[in-house]
């Protein structure tokens, strides 16, 4: 079963714009992670935020976590064509395995 639900399912923006993706989940978590998957390739880890953290930054990425609302958001600033990919949120359980959502397809047009 899938725990996370990403919103929107698809997003199309112009290069240079910001992209925001949201994730909601159902049960308590140990951490929440965001992954990127380019067409036909494996998953690449982007950022991990622990359940006791509220915000985290990594380069052009900003992640927020609201455990009271069971939601997270991923912001990509100044997007590039190379950011075109599917983005998945995954909730981390205590034993380490992940439950993934269905993903958001981001298209960045040059």
Interacting residue ranges for other proteins, rule: CB under 8 A: 2, 4, 30-31, 33, 35, 41-45, 48, 88, 90, 92-103
Q: Which is nearer to other proteins, 27 or 94 (CB)?
A: 94
Length of the chain: 110
State the residue for tokens 């953290």.
Answer: 53
CB of 60 to other proteins, least distance (A): 19
Q: Contact 104/11 with Cβ under 8 angstroms?
A: yes
Q: Which is nearer to other proteins, 32 or 108 (CB)?
A: 32
Q: Which is nearer to other proteins, 16 or 50 (CB)?
A: 50
């Amino acid at each position: 079963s899938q725990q996370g639900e990403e919103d929107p399912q698809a997003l199309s923006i112009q290069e240079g714009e910001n992209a925001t993706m949201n994730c909601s989940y159902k049960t308590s978590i140990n951490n929440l992670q965001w992954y990127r998957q380019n067409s036909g390739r494996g998953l690449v880890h982007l950022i991990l935020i622990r359940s006791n953290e509220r915000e985290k930054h990594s380069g052009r990425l900003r992640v927020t976590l609201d455990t009271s609302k069971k939601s997270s958001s991923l912001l990509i600033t100044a997007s590039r064509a190379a950011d075109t990919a599917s983005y998945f949120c995954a909730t981390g359980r205590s034993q380490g395995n992940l439950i993934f959502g269905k993903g958001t397809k981001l298209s960045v047009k040059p």
